[in-house]
Structure 1
Amino acid sequence: MKIRERGLIIGQYPTGKHNCLTDVPGVKVGHITLHKKISEEEHACTGVTAILPHEGNLFLEKVVAASYVINGFGKTTGLVQLDELGLLESPIMLSNTFAVPAVTHGTIEYMLKNNREIGDTTGTINIVTGECNDGYLNSIRELPIKPEHAIEAIENAVHTPCEEGAVGAGKGMVCFGYKGGIGTSSRIVADNNQRSYHLGCLVLSNFGGKVEFPFDKYMGSSVKDKDVKETPDGSIMIILGTDIPLTDRQLKRIAKRCGIGLGRTGSNYSHGSGDIVIAFSNGLKIPHHYKEDFSQQTVIRENHPIMNEIFSAAAEVTEEAILNSLSQAETTTGRKGRTVYSLFS
């Protein structure tokens, strides 16, 4: 159940049809979830989530993108080139900390299979992978994620509303001491000519302690106190997608406003938290092969009034996506018999 179904409305802007990142036309999301015993104490409680910016060939039709590091205690691949060139040419992949190499490997295999020119008649490819540490519930040292799981997540990607909560990369995540994971939300903004655009957010929430969460602000007395264990500093990956035609510099400015939404939920960006935003726009696709020496692009004007609306919507959509990750996640038991409770169970 999303947080709105519990009677909590975040912000002023209307949501997209499904209040999901996939409300952005062309965007697809896929998961693969692992939840099984490895031994008496060890447990695979993890997964992979794939975000595809559009349904075409991502290498041949790149999208404009940017990243913003709120707090850098994280392990990622691909952000250096992404920020240098302002382009995304692969799915955005999410998993646990030690799975970054395997997920990157699997994604490379998938992209090579579908693009025979990569590394042969043209350049290499930049894979973007992000992570959070699910080691409280998942036996992370056992390395349960394999390259084939990344491929499965990509192949599972759909345009329909994606699953949320303890699924995919979110299976073993903990947020504010309660069960976290995947959450998503969307907003619609319109310009003066009533052209509507979509802004969607998907988070992998794994941050914060119980004392940081503003229960009274969101829940009042409707939430029962539970046996919440203190877990290590966590992280959050925030994926922001839109069909608004923007430059990579404009996207970075918008990505910074996601930190406002994160802060509203109570996060203090702790020392050991990797808080990272990856933003993309499929409203501006860049071909890999150019026939002309020059290119022309049409983007939103910097001082257009809609920019302030986009900034506000980015904060709103991030806040609601985080709350949806908590609202949708069910109580989960993992390694060493540890149980993390749902906020609402």
Structure 2
Amino acid sequence: MKKGTFNAITDIEGVAVGHVTLDGPLDGEDYRCTGVTAILPHAGNLFKEKVPAASFVLNGFGKTAGLIQVEELGVLESPVMLTNTFSVGAVLEGTLRHMLSENPEIGDSSSSLNVVVGECNDSFLNSMRRMEVRPEHAEQAIRSATGGEFAQGATGAGKGMICYGAKGGIGSSSRTAEHAGRRFTVGTLVLTNFGRGNECRFPGWVAPEEPAPETPVAGSDPSASDRDEKRPDGSVIIVVATDAPLDSRQLGRLAKRASIGLGRTGTHIHNGSGDIIIAFSTGYTVPHGGDDPLIVRETFKDDHPLMNDLFQAAIESTEEAILQSLLHAEDTRGRKGRSVKKADFETDPLG
């Protein structure tokens, strides 16, 4: 399918992405190699003008915040925030601070706020126990968010992530669908931290050397360094955005298709992998409060051929977003002197 202007989630008008990257040595063998990424659905007040949203959990080994309410009410009222596993609380607090500063009525004369945060485990490279990500980093990521082109690869929440044994991180892509003069775009942003090197099916892929296994051969006595080399199963967070006017139910269907794009890349969806998809639409907004009990909105027909095109767009943009996370990454060092190299391709995976 055709790609958008930027081939990124920011091809959806109003969507903005911001990063804060933390990179540098701490005391001893510790190293901070982590960060925060913020995805803003539109440039207005997200609490007052919510967007329809849904989520799909392919494998639930994850520690997200806010998805229960998204599923119950079908709307998103905060930025989608990404970080490492032990920093979900700090990022939630920082995002809440930002939203409270914009909306003095929250928690007072109005309702509470649902903040959505996704995570992946970057503890192979990042000293995650140090909890270096603080609330102010989340606020900074939100304030720095812009449309158009943005950094990908080993940046923001993706700084310490590993994908298919090579350096992973942030990746994005988009696809467009047209019918009768109307054009709709689906854009995907991923945080990749999953898979073993021999699983990857991208063209030209050269599988990196695998780390030493955690379980020793019978009768052997592995060294501490061998045990340290065991990497967690990982996770992936997939954020799918579209300007097509889809309701929450339809966005749930779109989110499920993104998992097909993930599967196309080769992953086995490991036991310890949190594979979580969040989808939202900017096709219309849902106002907060007010006296009118009715909302009039335009939505898609499920049986229109364009719906199939949107499904295909979600699959293709997810698959390429994962590839882009590898292509944009760079050799990265982290704690205990560890390092992870960027992906090696024998041939151009994009042809």
Shorter-normalised TM range: over 0.9
CA deviation profile, 1:60-92 (whole Å, cap 9, x unmatched): 000000000010000011000001000000000
Partner residue in 2 for 1:340: 340
Distance in 1 (CA, whole Å) between partners of 2:286 and 2:177 is 24
2:282 corresponds to 1:282: yes
The percentage of aligned residue pairs carrying the same residue is 53
**1:246–1:299: 8 Å Cα contact kept in structure 2?**
yes
Is the partner of 2:124 in helix, strand or coil?
A: coil
Partner residue in 1 for 2:296: 296
Query: In the alignment, residue 285 of structure 1 is paired with which amino acid?
Result: T
Partner residue in 2 for 1:9: none
Query: In the alignment, residue 192 of structure 2 is paired with which amino acid?
Result: S
CA deviation profile, 1:97-151 (whole Å, cap 9, x unmatched): 0000000000000000110000011000000000000000000001100000000
Partner residue in 1 for 2:41: 53
Distance in 1 (CA, whole Å) between partners of 2:45 and 2:296 is 21
Distance in 1 (CA, whole Å) between partners of 2:28 and 2:110 is 49
Query: In the alignment, residue 204 of structure 2 is paired with which amino acid?
Result: M
For residue 160 of structure 1, report the CA deviation from its aligned partner: 2.0
2:109 corresponds to 1:124: no
Query: In the alignment, residue 239 of structure 1 is paired with which amino acid?
Result: V
**1:23–1:198: 8 Å Cα contact kept in structure 2?**
yes
Partner residue in 1 for 2:197: 210
Distance in 2 (CA, whole Å) between partners of 1:187 and 1:88 is 23
Query: In the alignment, residue 86 of structure 2 is paired with which amino acid?
Result: F
Distance in 2 (CA, whole Å) between partners of 1:168 and 1:218 is 27
**1:179–1:332: 8 Å Cα contact kept in structure 2?**
yes
Distance in 1 (CA, whole Å) between partners of 2:327 and 2:295 is 45
Distance in 2 (CA, whole Å) between partners of 1:322 and 1:344 is 15
For residue 40 of structure 1, report the CA deviation from its aligned partner: 2.7
Query: In the alignment, residue 144 of structure 2 is paired with which amino acid?
Result: N
2:228 corresponds to 1:240: no
Q: Which of residues 191, 201, 204 is equivalent to 1:219?
A: 204
Distance in 2 (CA, whole Å) between partners of 1:56 and 1:294 is 22
Distance in 1 (CA, whole Å) between partners of 2:290 and 2:248 is 19
For residue 231 of structure 1, report the CA deviation from its aligned partner: 2.1
For residue 198 of structure 1, report the CA deviation from its aligned partner: 1.1
CA deviation profile, 1:9-46 (whole Å, cap 9, x unmatched): xxxx1000010100100000000000011113000000
For residue 93 of structure 1, report the CA deviation from its aligned partner: 0.2
TM-score normalized by the length of structure 1:
0.93
Whose radius of gyration is greater, 1 or 2? Answer: 2
Distance in 2 (CA, whole Å) between partners of 1:89 and 1:52 is 10
For residue 289 of structure 1, report the CA deviation from its aligned partner: 2.4
For residue 226 of structure 1, report the CA deviation from its aligned partner: 4.5
Q: Which of residues 184, 187, 201 is equivalent to 2:188?
A: 201
**2:165–2:209: 8 Å Cα contact kept in structure 1?**
no
**2:235–2:275: 8 Å Cα contact kept in structure 1?**
yes
Partner residue in 2 for 1:19: 7
**1:189–1:309: 8 Å Cα contact kept in structure 2?**
yes
**2:165–2:208: 8 Å Cα contact kept in structure 1?**
no
Root-mean-square deviation (Å)? 1.1
Partner residue in 2 for 1:92: 80
* Matched residue count: 327
Partner residue in 1 for 2:329: 329
**1:177–1:231: 8 Å Cα contact kept in structure 2?**
no
For residue 227 of structure 1, report the CA deviation from its aligned partner: 4.1
Distance in 2 (CA, whole Å) between partners of 1:48 and 1:254 is 25
Partner residue in 2 for 1:256: 256
For residue 247 of structure 1, report the CA deviation from its aligned partner: 0.7
Query: In the alignment, residue 204 of structure 1 is paired with which amino acid?
Result: L
Partner residue in 2 for 1:314: 314
Is the partner of 1:218 in helix, strand or coil?
A: coil
